[in-house]
Structure 1
Amino acid sequence: MRDYARELPEHMGRYVGENDLFLKIFPGNCRPDEAGRPPLLFVHGAFTGSWMWSKYIPHFMAAGWDSYCINLRGHYKSRSVDFTTVEFEHYLEDIREAISAIARECAAAPIVIGFSMGGILSQKLAENVGIAGLVLIDSSISRQVHDEVPYQDLAPEIPGLVVPAPVRDEQSSADETPEDIAFQRKYLSMESGRAFGAFSFHFGAEGISIDGGKIACPSLVISAVSDETGDRRGRATARHIGGEYLGLWGTTHTGLLVGQRYHEAVSRIMIWLTRFD
């Protein structure tokens, strides 16, 4: 199996905050004309960690972007915690901690790039935390978007206090090779059931309310799309926060980060980032 996390360029790491959140730091190869750019903060989704960004990071480093990857409490290389006590709000505190640490170090607020659960967390933070920009990659949807384009025929499961890691026993997907899936299978871990119970409609949640009018920074929404309804949800998310939209048809949720077409999302983000030069 190819382990993309072990192929990352040279980087640093440190623990921040009282929960020992492990922050991976990837300095960009910037030219003098690229100085003054805001840093990037990557926020992973449920069950994962900074390793999920392994295919993305080299591209942003090469383009001169200083990149930071948070590991939320209890995830990957952050200190272990009792997941039965972890709430959605605790993860919000973790991201605030990372944003504060980055802003102190760089004298600039970061652009936040959130995937899946990290996307709904990042939207909620953007209501009242000053950030330079917001990118959502197949984000979990808000209560308002679900009201507009609801999931149909759900049979919601009530999560336990801890949700086990996804099995991923399939060998491939529409845009992932067996190697891509094996990479994820190596690192996927358990998740907080309380957090899931707050945002996931598949787990019976009422959803997280997002006040799109409070999100003043520029934003971009990228969605994995397999049908018209999924495309409508992505467009509704972008409209709700006043952002640009890209729907990538024929891609999958995790494939957008580690699949064979991940570079299409990276390319669109790079174009969107030129506004900060």
Structure 2
Amino acid sequence: MGLAYVHRMNAHEESPLLSVIDGVALTDFRPADESSRTPLIFVHGGLHGSWQWDSTQRWFADAGRRSISLDWFAHGGSRQLDASEWLRRSILDVREEIGVAVAQCASPPVLIGHSMGGLASLAYAATHPSRIAGLVLLAPVVPERFAGAPVELPIDVDQPWGPPPLDIAAHLFFDGAPAAEHEAIYAQLQAESPTAVWEATRWTATVDVDAITVPVLVITGDKDELTPVEIVSSLAEGIGAELVILPGVGHGLPFDQSWIDQCARIDSWASKILNEVS
């Protein structure tokens, strides 16, 4: 997708290892040389798939980190669900797929989630704190404890939601990407569980955030209309996380032109909190 994507492809010659384990499609990027750096697990947002992390994973492979991204069930190459199960599937259910990815790591990884994937990652950290080394939340959907005003998207709970038309999708999900990339990104979006969209817009999911014991980094943009900076900041304060607010940035952090700076910040933070030797 676009020049940044081509650049990462040229910069890193290794192809990812693709596998399906327990019904979960995994994309595993490994550095060209052996490295003892802590691995990363990437969890995509609603309507998206592991493809959203391609450039990000290539950057981290070049930086010497192994990373694994996953497709939620009913997304990408993962196991499909029958309609009745999928329509009722909660964001919190994605903990199952996260657990499969985490199990592929020899040591606890840093878990990184975007949007709905941020909420799923937060929930996983609350229920399995000993299995991860750290948590990074990018423009996360927040649990009900930190709820703000509802995002009034129309939702029929008996019908798949979206994707909305290209102009609306671009505004909501990838406004920071170069305009030339919008159609390519949009072509990869898919419809989403209306239950998950309801949780993400009405802030109804319950997570015991007091059970989180790992270090947390939260990154969000001050122009985000889906997960407004006020409620994300409240979540960060409530869980004692380090908070980074990016000026002029919307919801689609992995697609924003600041994505390389985000990667560098995450890499530096992880090295510091894990006492990694450069």
Q: TM-score, length-normalised on structure 1?
A: 0.84
Distance in 2 between the 1:57 and 1:180 partners? 18
Distance in 2 between the 1:113 and 1:206 partners? 20
Give the unaligned 5+ runs of structure 1: none
**Contact 2:176/2:255 (8 A) holds in 1:** no
Give yes or no for the alignment of 1:220 onto 2:223.
Answer: no
Change (3 A) 1:97 1:169: same
For residue 169 of structure 1, the aligned residue among 155, 167, 174 is 167
1:40 alignment partner in structure 2: 40
Change (3 A) 1:135 1:30: farther
1:85 alignment partner in structure 2: 85
2:144 alignment partner in structure 1: 143
1:59 positional shift = 1.2
Q: Deviations over 1:192-246 (max 9, x none)?
A: 112223x223xxx451222222110011000021289933322212112221010
1:54 positional shift = 1.7
2:67 alignment partner in structure 1: 67
Change (3 A) 1:140 1:39: same
Q: Secondary structure at the match of 1:232?
A: helix
**Contact 2:93/2:120 (8 A) holds in 1:** no
Q: Deviations over 1:35-92 (max 9, x none)?
A: 2x32110000011111101221111101111100001111112233234412114322
Moved more, 264-273 or 131-140: 264-273
2:25 alignment partner in structure 1: 22
Q: Secondary structure at the match of 1:187?
A: coil
Q: Deviations over 1:130-151 (max 9, x none)?
A: 21110000011121111xxx22
**Contact 1:171/1:177 (8 A) holds in 2:** no
Q: State the number of aligned residues.
A: 259
2:133 alignment partner in structure 1: 132
Moved more, 37-46 or 172-181: 172-181
**Which runs of at least 4 in structure 1 moved beyond 6 Å after TM superposition?**
none
Q: Deviations over 1:144-174 (max 9, x none)?
A: 111xxx226x545333331122322369765
Distance in 2 between the 1:30 and 1:238 partners? 35
2:197 alignment partner in structure 1: 196
The letter of the residue matching 1:237 is L
1:30 positional shift = 4.7
Give yes or no for the alignment of 1:210 onto 2:207.
Answer: yes
Distance in 2 between the 1:158 and 1:170 partners? 15
User: Structure 1 vs Structure 2: percent identity of aligned residues?
Assistant: 28
Change (3 A) 1:80 1:30: same
- Superposition CA RMSD, Å: 2.6
1:10 alignment partner in structure 2: 15
The letter of the residue matching 2:166 is R
The letter of the residue matching 1:145 is F
Change (3 A) 1:156 1:10: closer
Change (3 A) 1:93 1:182: same
1:55 alignment partner in structure 2: 55
Distance in 1 between the 2:224 and 2:164 partners? 23
The letter of the residue matching 1:128 is T
For residue 239 of structure 1, the aligned residue among 216, 237, 240 is 237
Change (3 A) 1:236 1:171: closer
2:188 alignment partner in structure 1: 187
1:98 alignment partner in structure 2: 101
The letter of the residue matching 1:243 is A
Q: Secondary structure at the match of 2:207?
A: coil
Q: TM-score, length-normalised on structure 2?
A: 0.84
Change (3 A) 1:94 1:182: same
